[in-house]
Structure 1
Amino acid sequence: MQIIIVGCGKVGSTLAEQLSREDNDVTVLDINGQRVEQLVNELDIMGYIGSGISFDTLMEAGVKKADLLIAVTGSDELNLMCCLIAKKAGDCLTIARVRNPEYSRETEFLKKELGLAMVINPELTAAGEAARVLRLPTAISVEVFAKGKVEVLKFRIKPDSPLCRMEIQEIGPKLKSDILVCVVERGGEIIIPNGTFVLQERDNVYVAGAQKKRRNFLSVSASAPDR
């Protein structure tokens, strides 16, 4: 893919590095010439010095042929304007970094009216993840699906856990917990377990269920993770 990244701060630099490693044709754009030069030299990519809201600069950077433009400067307004101009100048997908909570509440409106493929807010995402982990402190990780309606929890079975050496079909009756064990990771192998599958120490277990039932399950399973 031909990708233009507007903004060479921490987020932009990380994106440029990752996307260039995946064999994408990456071009960076920033008003800070030193940042542009550094990324161009380190990653062997194209770079242009200028503003992301300059039509001429975007055209020079190749917006006409670009498949995707990602605007991640420190200004929400500049990111949104940059995506709007890019959408009008070319026919690429656009992604804007938007950190202002007021804008974040209008994500669907912004996507529709400005033709954005995606609005990202790394800080809000990180805060949401922290809140989920704090709400479920015994979980190693919390993955969210279906726009937040479904959460799949991952935790590790410790030697003193009541789940250790227990068959999956025994979890409901013995722990009075109505959850679904989706996947078990054991020794690098991914297993889709049946009812007679026996859980063992250090298994990484992925479970899904209603929020209250998940909390009850984690509290009785007492499987604090190794951090």
Structure 2
Amino acid sequence: MKVLICGAGAVGRAIAERLADERNSVTVIDLSSDVLARLGDELDVATVLGHGSHPDVLHRAGAADCDIVFAVTPSDEVNITACTVAHTLFNVPTKIARLRAAAYRTSDWADLFARDRVPVDATISPDIEVAEAIARLVTMPGVGESGSFCRGQVLGFSVECLSGSPAVAGPLREVNGRFPGLDATVVGKKRGGKVSVVGSEHVLEAGDTAYVVAAA
């Protein structure tokens, strides 16, 4: 499978590493030559310097014959544009965009993304994935150990806390309010190599590993 990834941040790198390990042909686009140089040294991927939503950059990266585009830059709008260009000019079969803004994900606009509208086939949100405690797409970084308990009725797992996530925006007692419908509880954390139990007033920090239990 030929894969094109727009954005070489934490999410893009996680996608690239996973798919390259599975022997896919992976090309990564980013605006930082330094980031691309490190990525190219560490992973078996091709790199292209440029703006991921620009037609000429997508063309140089091989969009015309790729199977899937992951647009995972820090900008929702750039990601939407990259998917639109990939669809309109290069007829890429599958386009996946990282979207952080809740405005794009409300049920009021459930029909926004479709091939005959905004051509995004699937969206990912690291914040929502953390909240739901499961990586439903192969692109989700940070999910570590996992297991089931109580005859499969309870799931336990670890997840990396990302900078900017609502999970690190205040005390744990407020997490469920920031993620409506969340049926999960953070019970511990690892920071600086030390594991400790956490309570409702604890505040997680970016870089922490959170240990979560949730209903299966």
Q: TM-score range by the shorter chain?
A: 0.5 to 0.7
2: distance between equivalents of 1:22 and 1:128? 26
Report the secondary structure of 2:95's partner residue. strand
Residue number in structure 1 paired with 2:152: 206
Q: Is the 8 A contact 1:29 1:51 kept in 2?
A: yes
Residue in structure 1 matched with residue 126 of structure 2 by the alignment: 122
Counterparts of 1:82 and 1:70, CA distance in 2 = 9
Q: CA RMSD in A?
A: 2.3
On the 8 A contact 1:33/1:49 being kept in 2, the answer is yes
Could you state the TM-score of these two structures normalised by the residue count of structure 2? 0.60
Residues of 2 paired with 1:81 and 1:23: CA distance?
A: 28
Aligned residues: 141
Q: Name the counterpart of 2:84.
A: 84
CA distance 1:88–1:102, shift in 2 (3 Å): same
Cα deviation per residue 1:174-204 (whole Å; 9 max; x = unaligned)? xxxxxxxxxxxxxxxxxxxxxxxxxxxxxxx
Counterpart-to-counterpart distance in 2, 1:99 and 1:111: 18
Larger Rg: 1
Query: Of residues 137, 147, 155 in structure 1, which corresponds to 2:149?
Result: 155
Tell me if structure 2 keeps the 8 A contact 1:111–1:119: no
Contact 1:28 1:48 (8 Å CA) reproduced? yes
Question: Secondary structure of 1:47's match?
Answer: strand
Map 1:138-149 onto structure 2 (within 5 A). Answer: none
Q: Once the 2 structures are TM-superposed, how far is the Cα of residue 90 of structure 1 from its aligned partner?
A: 1.3
Deviations for 1:65-86, whole angstroms, at most 9, x for unmatched residues? Answer: 0000000000000000010001
2:206 matched residue in structure 1:
none
* 1:69–1:7 Cα change, 3 Å: same
- Work out the percentage of aligned pairs sharing the same amino acid: 32
Shift of the 107–71 alpha-carbon distance from structure 1 to 2, 3 Å rule, reads farther
How far does the alpha carbon of each residue in 1:101-128 deviate from its partner, in whole angstroms, 9 at most, with x for none? 0011135422351222201111112123
Q: Which runs of 5+ in 2 are unaligned?
A: 135-144, 155-212
* 1:22 Cα deviation from its structure 2 partner: 0.6
Q: 1:107 to 1:120 in 2, by over 3 A?
A: farther
* Alpha-carbon distance change, 107 to 16 in structure 1, aligned in 2, over 3 angstroms: farther
CA contact under 8 A between 1:8 and 1:73: conserved in structure 2?
A: yes
* 2:183 counterpart residue number: none
Residues 15-39 of structure 1: CA deviation (Å, up to 9, x unaligned): 1000000110000000111111111
In structure 2, what is the Cα distance between the partners aligned to 1:95 and 1:107?
16
The 3-state SS of whatever aligns with 1:110 is: coil
Q: Does 1:37 find its partner at 2:37?
A: yes
Match of 1:100 in 2: 101
Q: Where does structure 1 lack aligned partners over 5 or more consecutive residues?
A: 131-139, 143-153, 157-204, 209-224
Which has more helix, going by share of residues? Answer: 1
8 Å CA contact 2:113, 2:121 repeated in 1: no
When normalised by structure 1's length, the TM-score is: 0.58
Partner of 1:15: 15
